[in-house]
Structure 1
Amino acid sequence: MSQATLHDLHRPLGSLGLMVSPLGLGTVKLGRDQGVKYPNGFTIPDDRAARQLLDQARDLGINLIDTAPAYGRSEERLGPLLRGQRHEWVIVSKVGEEFDNGLSSFNFSAAHTRLSVERSLKRLETDCIDLVLVHSDGNDLHILEHEGVYEALAQLKQEGKIRGFGLSGKTVAGGLKALEQGDCAMVTYNLNEQGERPVLDYAAAHGKAILVKKALASGHACLRPDEDPVRASFELLFGHPGVSSAIVGTINPVHLAHNVATVAQVLSKR
Structure 2
Amino acid sequence: MKTSLHGLARALGSTGISVSPIGLGTVKIGRDKGVKYPQHFTIPDDDAVRKLLATAHELGINTLDTAPAYGNSEERLGQLLTNRNEWIIVSKAGETFADGVSQFDFTAEHITASIERSLKRLKTDYIDVLLIHSDGNDLPIANDLVLWEQLETLKSKGLIRAFGLSGKTVEGGISALQKSDCAMVTFNLNEQSEKPVLTYAEQQNKGIFVKKALASGHVCNNAERSPLEESFDLVFSQPAVASAIIGTINLDHLKQNVEIAVNSLTR
Instruction: Confirm or deny: 8 A CA contact 1:234 1:263 kept in the other structure.
Output: yes
Deviation of 1:224 after TM superposition, in Å, equals 2.2
CA distance in 1, matches of 2:175, 2:29: 31
Q: Which residue of 2 aligns with 1:10?
A: 9
Distance 1:81 1:147 in 2: 36
- Identity %, equivalent residues: 60
For the pair 1:153 / 2:151, whether they are aligned, the reply is yes
Kindly indicate whether residue 45 of structure 2 is the aligned counterpart of residue 67 of structure 1: no
Describe the SS at the equivalent of 2:178.
helix
Structure-to-structure mapping, 1:159-174, within 5 angstroms:
159-174=157-172
Structure 1 residue 223 displacement after superposition: 2.7
| Partner of residue 33, structure 2 | 34
Q: Which amino acid aligns with 2:254?
A: L
> Quick one: which amino acid aligns to residue 158 of structure 2?
G
Gaps of 5+ in 1: none
- Structure 2 partner of 1:138: 136
Contact 1:189 1:197 in 2 (8 A): yes
CA distance in 2, matches of 1:45, 1:200: 34
Distance 2:117 2:110 in 1: 10
- Which amino acid letter does the alignment assign opposite residue 30 of structure 1? I
- Which amino acid counterpart does residue 219 of structure 2 have in structure 1? A
Contact 1:109–1:147 under 8 Å retained in 2: no
SS at match of 2:255: helix
CA offset at residue 147 of structure 1? Answer: 7.3
CA distance in 2, matches of 1:79, 1:96: 20
For residues 191 and 244 of structure 1, the distance between their equivalents in structure 2, rounded to whole angstroms, comes to: 18
Report the secondary structure of 1:181's partner residue. coil
SS for the counterpart of 1:244 is strand
Alignment partner of 2:195 out of 194, 197, 214 = 197
Q: Is the 8 A contact 2:108 2:146 kept in 1?
A: yes
CA distance in 2, matches of 1:26, 1:19: 17
Partner of 1:249: 247
Deviations 1:27-60 (A, max 9, x none): 0001000000100000000000000000000000
Q: Aligned partner of 1:68: which letter?
A: A
Q: Matched residues in 2 for 1:227 and 1:129: separation?
A: 38
Partner of residue 53, structure 1: 52
**For residue 31 of structure 1, what is the amino acid of its counterpart?**
G
Counterpart of 1:140, as a letter, is: D
Structure 1 distance, partners of 2:147, 2:94, is 8
- Secondary structure of the residue aligned to 2:143 is helix
TM norm structure 2: 0.98
Contact (CA 8 Å) 1:110, 1:147: kept in 2 or not?
no
**Aligned-pair CA distance for 1:170:** 0.3
Question: Distance between the aligned counterparts of 1:164 and 1:203, measured in 2?
Answer: 15
2:107 matched residue in structure 1:
109
